[in-house]
Structure 1
């Protein structure tokens, strides 16, 4: 081997310059091996990031549901806030009023009253026509009793006291919700035999007392067994409870794991920006799928509850009220995902992205120079902003992300507010940087 081709000692020029250490053939082989290693390394990174991305997309909907389950189950105030609107929902109130009214009227023997009246008239020698008229009073009397009972029950159900009793009962029975989701025990919310029921015993007690005070002694015969409203009937309740147990165990760890996998997918990808854009778009698609799934489950739920058990409008109100925070969280994640994908695209080399950046830059530069001409001088601060634009932009974005992370149950409105503040701060910083004097201006008089 030619000594001229031997690499020099460490730190020498021969070791630092491969062209001086290799022959032409060895140089070509070296370049080929280096390209092959680079391609293989890129493929490994791409494969790893693709696997991480796939896991992220599969876990994203489950993470949203797990966070909702954990939040609703573990936080009593959050649970009460979830179910509180049901007490003032007209459809639910109407269902409760009709149920209680029917039970009271059933316990009032109208036929016995009319028969006793007819017998008394007959014994007193009243004409047969009068006796027959007394017997025909059963229908009008039943209607009158129902009207009176319905009016009394409605006053109880639509009062503020009912809402307070409703919230208080749900707060005290929050442990029963955990039992329902895990399939253990029975309490205010009962689950068993493929049916989920809501116990309204305290409301029944109040209505019974009001009716007795109003003179309806028969109301005291309302059975204690009829104190529930069927919320859900399905043969798949056992499977649903198993799923809920799993999601409850995972709790908030599943969302954290999903975020970590998404970050690793972007970090390991050869093209970070492209992977961020793909991840944002993919998570957006999966959250849209979750919204569609919630709509499908809603239809299944409404079909599973017979109208004789619960009116369709009341069943729809119960479902919509119970999952409304889950819907809000899903929509929020959808908006965040779309915005993330859009920001990643705008930082790319696309023609539309370049046009947007150029237009924004020109506008902010013009505004900054107008301020400078008007006598607003930013001095060294503006120059520092110009020199450290990447750092300031990253800091503002980081602050916006932290604001959303630390926000307690962010909504779409909260996301819009944070984005608006971030954009306003970025625009303001860019204008201040553009208002800084240039070198020739500083050296002038």
Structure 2
């Protein structure tokens, strides 16, 4: 037969021939290889994004903190406000101002004038000769009197206002010291930021006059400043500070976007989310450890003549307290995120916990229905849309954290408690639509599942870790 007369496959009855068994196996093998390569590429890309997010996360936290301290004078004043009532700082201020006032009183001239007056009054020569020896006791008495007045001023009700005003004036100097930029403010002296407490000195002089020391009004102008921050060691990082200052507004959203893109790109979203939460949590722990190390570095770098050790410690702890608080908050959020990702996974303990939650909310809902509190259509709607309601509740919790400026770990715990309570309530309301019979629903988090019909195959984990495409 002429080969041209042999009918083509497409012309044969029934259409083209199916591929042979070896051909199907080869096609399947090629598809599996292509899928593995695609998954490997996606995991590689997601891993790179996660590594960048991990490295940037502590820098982003520091940058956000610095940006708030540098750009917002009110935020800076709020940060340093507790120092006005810190006993160590109050003692340092009292000692410094007392020494400044006493050192500007010329006791030698006073004793010399007293000696001349006694000599003109024909006092015995022995008395006149011993007058200079009174300088020491007089200085001690004056120091005690001045210290008493200064302490009352520093621990009084008006001192926090004096402190706030002084720090508002010194804010530009703090910016210059941290970033190396800005104008040459008089409060910045080399590597030290000092506060001008002239109003406190004026108040001390007024109270000395009121106490009977009329000549205190004639005390010459003294150095009215006290050191707040010395940065002879930290100034070495000024270049990095400048870079962080520029990138401050951008680093936090970029870091969040990198982590979110990594989770979205990864073949297993839940596993990527768990990895992201654990990695960021570890970086926050390292940041807290770094702050502890820097605390010792700073305290050891401040000469005792500048600030006593306890006062320097109080200054450092106060200046970085919002940074430490933000770090702890992110650590708590990371732990909660990792725990949530685990509980939604296929692990036996997680599945058992989800089943227990489903049974608990189902029992509560059925009990409510038996008592007459049936939700009927509303409950059935909640059951049918529990994925949307769960997402809405979690989104509201996340929105509360975003809108809250500098949320504390306690606030995060409060939001978490409210979210869990809302999810339990939604689960109970959904179960209350079923009446006293078996519950069709569980906890409104989507962890409860419909009870399988008799003879149905056992439930399998079908959504947590399945290989899906981006966004799937």
Q: Is structure 2 residue 274 aligned with structure 1 residue 285?
A: no
Whose helix proportion is higher, 1 or 2? 1
Match of 2:308 in 1: 311
Contact preservation (8 Å) 1:200, 1:229:
no
1:187 aligns with 2:168: no
Q: 1:60 to 1:266 in 2, by over 3 A?
A: same
Match of 2:324 among 314, 323, 327: 327
**Residues 104, 218 of structure 1: 8 Å contact kept:** no
> 1:47–1:127: structure 2 CA closer, same or farther, 3 Å change rule?
same
Partner in structure 2 of residue 405 of structure 1: 402
Aligned to 1:227: 225
C-alpha contact (below 8 Å) 1:180/1:186 kept by paired residues: no
Residue 140 of structure 2 is aligned with which of 140, 143, 149? 143
Q: Are 1:86 and 2:83 counterparts?
A: yes
Query: Alignment length, in residue pairs?
Result: 430
- The structure-2 alpha-carbon separation of the partners of 1:235 and 1:383, relative to structure 1 and needing over 3 Å to count, comes to closer
Return the offset for 1:412: 0.9
Cα deviations across residues 15-71 of structure 1 (Å, max 9, x unaligned)?
A: xxxxx6422222121111101100000100110000011001001101111111111
Gap runs ≥5 in structure 2:
439-472
User: Aligned pair 1:65/2:84, yes or no?
Assistant: no
Q: Which residue of the partner structure matches residue 256 of structure 2?
A: 259
Q: 1:406 to 1:230 in 2, by over 3 A?
A: closer
Distance in 1 between residues matched to 2:104 and 2:71, nearest whole Å: 41
Whether the aligned pair in 2 keeps the contact of 1:180 and 1:191 (CA below 8 Å) is: no
CA shift in 2, pair 1:205/1:217, >3 Å: closer
Two-structure CA RMSD over aligned residues (Å): 2.7
- Contact 2:205-2:216 within 8 A present in 1 as well: no
Which sections of structure 1, spanning at least 5 residues, go unmatched? 15-19
> 1:212 Cα shift?
6.0
**Are positions 1:242 and 2:239 aligned together?**
yes
Quote the offset at 1:106 in angstroms.
1.5
Q: Give the drift of 1:434.
A: 1.0
Separation in 2 of the partners of 1:266 and 1:5?
Answer: 47
| Structure-1 residue corresponding to 2:455 | none
1:74-116 alpha-carbon deviations (Å, 9 max, x no partner): 2222121111122222211211111111122112232343344
* 2:461 aligned residue: none
2:459: which partner in 1?
A: none
Q: Which residue of 2 aligns with 1:178?
A: 175
Secondary structure in 2 aligned to 1:137? helix
1:274–1:344 contact (8 Å) kept in structure 2: yes
2:214 corresponds in structure 1 to 215
TM-score (norm 1): 0.89
